[in-house]
Amino acid sequence: MNSPNSPAPSGRLSSIMQEDRLFPPSAEFSKRARIQSMEDYRRIYADAMEHPEKFWDNLAKLLPWTTPYTRVLDWQPPCASWFVGGRTNASAACLDQHVAAGRGDKRAMVWVGEPIGERRELTYRELLAEVCMCAGGLVKLGIKAGDVVSIYMPMTPELVIAMLACARIGAVHSVIFGGFSSEAIADRNEDAQAVAVITADGGWRRGSQLPLKKNVDDALVRSPSVKHVIVLKRTGQPVSMTPGRDIWWHDLVADMPDSMAPVAMDSEAPLFILYTSGSTGKPKGIEHTTAGYLLWAKTTAEWVFDLRDDDLFWCTADCGWITGHSYVTYGPLAAGTSILIYEGAPNAPNEGRFWDIVEQEKPTIFYTAPTAIRSFMKWGMSHIENRDLSSLRLLGTVGEGINPEAWIWYHEVIGGKRCPIVDTWWQTETGGIMMSPLPGATPTKPGSCTMPLPGVVPEIVDSEGNPVDTGEGGWLVMKQPWPGMLRGIWGDQERYRETYWSKVPGKYLAGDNARQDADGYYWIMGRIDDVLNVAGHRLSTIEIESALVSHPCVAEAAAVGRPHDVKGEAVAVFVTLRSGEAGEVLKETLRKHVRHQIGALAVPDDIHFASVLPKTRSGKIMRRLLRDIAAGRETVGDTTTLEDYTVLAKLRDDE
């Protein structure tokens, strides 16, 4: 991680970013919010801190238990068991309990297909019926509690139905993002020993058809554990069906009853596995269990999105990543909220699609990723100007740090200056949001995820585990277990201990750098592995990138270090443009701009203009690959999570 010239790794970082703007929630928003003031927040936080078990006990009572738990927490670091001895079912919490409470006719889901005009609505009662039919089909195939089922589907209602159907029978789902290749499917099937794959003939993406079934067929050559393939007819494209193995979804559910009792699962029974890439090596199957995860997803959704009965919640994430698990599916549905799902690309058929959907469907809450926001900025105002976005009352972001420039744009253009923004920091591993403003309480600062949620006890330490000073950057750790935490890496408990619990003994190492300012606000500074080390100063990627993005010509920026004889590392940046002409003049302008914004130390040595940046399917810039390009090295290591495989070639061509 460190270049030869760098000082001993202390984990400490210098911060060079200054952001003083403060946006308190409006009195009107606060008045109607669940948590209405910082005093309320502090009281709840203190409650959770002083009596954590009592705190979680009170909230957990709201889940539908078939057998009550006997203990709230059994903590044998790094292994946590929450709600010990209890039995419940995640699909019952998301569906049956609402129907039983008389809310069966409430809209559970509004779905908008990518092809114009395709739309479906499902009430809670209808969603429950569909889940029961699918669950019945899985049972008919012999799938039972504890079996792993891979799901490789487009963002259709059936994707959510498949997840909940697995949960209903106690099968463990492993959702594989529909943009992944057959190798990625095969690796995940093998690691998890999946017994079945639920897929579709194809999926729509920007008007073309993804060959989902074909990819599954190719993967299954290497997946001997898979005995059944269930195929949803979505696009109608031709596919080959292997007799005895493959069955159409509609045939499977055709004669299934629309009710079926949920299987009572132990609190700690695995609910799902979700694979996420490590910085090196093979993807890790992050394991989440039933009750603690569900409680975390639900409670954090209620707190952070301030959910109300009349909300329509649009989280734009795909269920192929954790945000789609926690804030498309389990969190909002367990809270009884109506969700909005859109199947396709934000620029299909044109760059105004999201705003057409807002105008037509009138969501009240919109939750997306900074990478999407930067695209909207780049696409320009003409796609937004004439749309009515007044239904929105709350905006959120997740997945990366949001550059202050993009935050302000989001606030003004999408939020009409009236919607609070919740910048939510969390990870696949944490199961749900860990740090975020509470929209009715927390005054926000652009670029800061503000403060920990109740029950979350963060600390920033150096590599010896000592707390760093206020304003200084260091490693972000968690000092206490929380209900939504991962329980392990599937099949590799040693890697779990090693990755998350060994470097700072007894504490959960998130793998991110952060600092806390004098007001107690947290600022995420990027991944530990991405730190730049310039002349002995450890700098964060996000600060340099935010300085660049604040220039009107710049759409996106990625900063990486490359070896430098004198300075240890030189600053290399990759920039995509909104406007202006790539060339020496602009390079000089950008250098001056960075010097002016954050100082001489961070001035880029190399500026590369790029047409695209390499990103993961969830929109995170893969700085690891850019480091290789900046240093003129061949790319080694895993590139299977790249969203667009042609990007690396393009980048080398851009040089």
**Which residue minimizes CB distance to ligand WTA?**
428
Nearer to ligand WTA by Cβ, of 168 and 627: the residue is 627
Q: How far is the CB of 425 from ligand WTA (least distance, A)?
A: 4
* 618: contact with ligand WTA by CB under 6 A: yes
Q: C-alpha distances in angstroms, 652 versus 71, 157, 575, 582, 616?
A: 57, 40, 14, 16, 18
* 524: contact with ligand WTA by CB under 6 A: yes
Using CB under 6 A, pick the residue from 96, 147, 287, 423 that binds ligand WTA.
Answer: 423
Answer whether the bond into residue 349 is a cis peptide, omega within 30°: yes
| 338, β-bridge pairs | 312
Nearest to 76 by CA among 268, 242, 319: 268
CA–CA separation, 289 vs 90, rounded Å?
Answer: 10
> Which range in 28-36, 39-47, 319-327, 499-507 contacts ligand WTA by CB under 6 A?
319-327
Nearer to ligand WTA by Cβ, of 98 and 620: the residue is 620
Nearer to ligand WTA by Cβ, of 92 and 476: the residue is 476
Q: In this structure, are residues 59 and 44 in contact, taking their beta carbons and an 8 Å threshold? A: no
Q: What is the largest CA-CA distance in the chain?
A: 73
* 527: contact with ligand WTA by CB under 6 A: yes
Handedness of CA 531, 532, 538, 539 (dihedral sign): negative
Q: How far is the CB of 487 from ligand WTA (least distance, A)?
A: 16
Q: How far is the CB of 414 from ligand WTA (least distance, A)?
A: 17
Using CB under 6 A, pick the residue from 321, 410, 475, 500 that binds ligand WTA.
Answer: 321
Q: How far is the CB of 33 from ligand WTA (least distance, A)?
A: 21
CA–CA separation, 541 vs 354, rounded Å?
Answer: 29
Q: Rounded to an integer, what is the distance from CA 248 to the centroid of its chain?
A: 31
Show the CA angle centred on residue 15, arms to residues 12 and 20, nearest 5°: 145
* 399: contact with ligand WTA by CB under 6 A: yes
* 405: contact with ligand WTA by CB under 6 A: no
* 323: contact with ligand WTA by CB under 6 A: yes
Nearer to ligand WTA by Cβ, of 306 and 423: the residue is 423
Q: How far is the CB of 121 from ligand WTA (least distance, A)?
A: 28
Answer whether the bond into residue 78 is a cis peptide, omega within 30°: yes
CA–CA separation, 149 vs 162, rounded Å?
Answer: 9
Tokens 């190399």 — which residue?
A: 606
| 65, β-bridge pairs | 88
* 531: contact with ligand WTA by CB under 6 A: no
Instruction: Show the binding pattern over residues 241-280: x = contacts ligand WTA (CB under 6 A), - = does not.
Output: -----------------------------------x----
Q: C-alpha distances in angstroms, 631 versus 531, 545, 562, 606?
A: 15, 19, 5, 11
Q: How far is the CB of 36 from ligand WTA (least distance, A)?
A: 23
* 330: contact with ligand WTA by CB under 6 A: no
Nearest to 441 by CA among 458, 428, 453: 453
CA–CA separation, 572 vs 532, rounded Å?
Answer: 10
Using CB under 6 A, pick the residue from 127, 449, 622, 651 that binds ligand WTA.
Answer: 449
Q: In this structure, are residues 118 and 157 in contact, taking their beta carbons and an 8 Å threshold? A: no
Nearer to ligand WTA by Cβ, of 322 and 453: the residue is 322
Residue type, 387: R
Q: How far is the CB of 132 from ligand WTA (least distance, A)?
A: 30
Using CB under 6 A, pick the residue from 136, 336, 352, 401 that binds ligand WTA.
Answer: 401
* 513: contact with ligand WTA by CB under 6 A: no
Nearer to ligand WTA by Cβ, of 178 and 511: the residue is 511
Nearest to 213 by CA among 186, 194, 232: 232
What Rg do the C-alpha atoms of the chain give, in angstroms? 24
* 180: contact with ligand WTA by CB under 6 A: no
Using CB under 6 A, pick the residue from 329, 428, 516, 546 that binds ligand WTA.
Answer: 428
Nearer to ligand WTA by Cβ, of 228 and 445: the residue is 445
Binding stretches for ligand WTA (CB under 6 A): 276, 321-323, 398-401, 423-428, 449, 510-512, 524, 527, 618
